Amino acid sequence: MFRLKLSASLLTGLILSVSTLHAQVKAPIMGWSSWNNFRVNIDEKMLREQADAMVSSGLYAAGYRFVNIDDGYFGGRDKDGKLLVNTAKFPSGMKALADYIHSKKLKAGIYTDAGNNTCGSYYDKDPNGTGSGIYGHIDQDCNLFFKEWGFDFLKVDWCGGERMKLDEQTAYTPIIKAVKAIDTNIVFNICRWQFPGEWAIKQADSWRVSGDISAKFSSILHIIDLDADLYKYASPGHYNDMDMLQVGRGMSYDEDKTHFSMWCMLNSPLLAGNDLRSMSRQTIDILTNKELIALNQDKAFKQATRVLKDANIEIWVKQLAGKNAKAIAIMNRGDNDATYDFSADKAGLSNNTELRDLWLHKKLGKAGALRRFDIPKHGIIVLKTV
């Protein structure tokens, strides 16, 4: 009898431990980053206004949380090597800015480079980025970012590291270890501009798989293709980062929808890159489509896979939590509108599977043997089994 009670107790503890572990798994982060729209031209007033707009626009209600400060805040280093802030841009300092972001119930992100110099020092001629990278200052900078300033996210770029000819694994591993030693909940992003290698897939929370995105549909397709075969490296809490969103930055409505849909299907972090203060209603509606966001945040944490190519039409399937639950994206890569006859078996579904359209927000009924969809050029249909 004693052994039975002990076994039951151990079993209960094991179940609780597994449940707790599952509850702590991080979904892809959602938020905003300054780089796409502002590059190094940032200041505390603008960043506070982005935090305000994240709440007032409805993005917070849709799940967006991070306000990530990218390159451009640096002020060099003092004689002891301590990182300084550009006081002309940030007169209140970074701790005050992080505190303000936190006061909105948001999280704050910060930026560095694995090498001596930041990307802005090379590409934007920002002299304050020279010598401001984390190389040689790992513990010093991590203590500053997280213990003194209180940030929740770190993006580590590679411009300086590349020019120093550093080895990626050797350069990034001690930075990750230093960050996680302070707090395992801090989100760490490797910005290497390509899949960094299998060494990274259990250490980092996310890793970039491409060069910088641009607001062109060709760029969107290029990144999707780069990520197509990387699903095997993604796992709960560890994701392929397809770069910041370009929704609301000049592409067509259908291109923006396709872009956002595929980032959700492929479990990329969702970091808006537009100016949140001046979004159109159309842009807000795309970024706050809760049915699409639910795919990105789904508890199965599965990246979609491409199951069919038919000329310019592709079918992608994402396994969701729940028995036989799936999301299906039918994407038109072509430069012309298309009519496509979709059969359920192409997505591994039965004809009796009930479908819901996640952009029309309505049930479509049974998949049937054949269902015809009109898809605009560069457009997409996203379905979910119900």
Active site residue 337: no
* Interatomic CA distance for residues 91 and 102, integer angstroms: 18
Question: Given strand 187-190, what is the order of strands in its sheet?
Answer: 239-241, 206-208, 187-190, 153-157, 107-113, 66-68, 30-33, 270-272
Name every residue whose Cβ is closer than 8 Å to that of residue 227 and which is 6 or more positions away in sequence.
Answer: 209, 210, 240, 242, 266, 268, 303
Q: Which amino acid is at 105?
A: K
Establish how many alpha carbons lie within 13 A of residue 313's alpha carbon, considering only the half-sphere containing its beta carbon. 18
Q: Under DSSP, is residue 309 helix (H, G, I), strand (E, B) or coil?
A: strand
* Interatomic CA distance for residues 202 and 321, integer angstroms: 22
* Interatomic CA distance for residues 364 and 379, integer angstroms: 19
Q: Under DSSP, is residue 265 helix (H, G, I), strand (E, B) or coil?
A: helix
The residue annotated as part of the active site, out of 212, 254, 285, 357, is: 212
The residue annotated as part of the active site, out of 157, 205, 243, 275, is: 157
The closest alpha carbon to 206, from 67, 70, 29, belongs to 29
The closest alpha carbon to 301, from 14, 17, 24, 20, belongs to 24
Q: Which amino acid is at 192?
A: R
Letter string b/e over residues 23-32, b meaning 16 or more CB atoms within 10 A of that residue's CB: eeeebbbbbb
177: which 2 tokens?
A: 């270890």
Burial of 318 (0-12, 13-18, 19+ CB in 10 A): buried
Active site residue 285: no
By annotation, the residues acting in catalysis are 157, 212
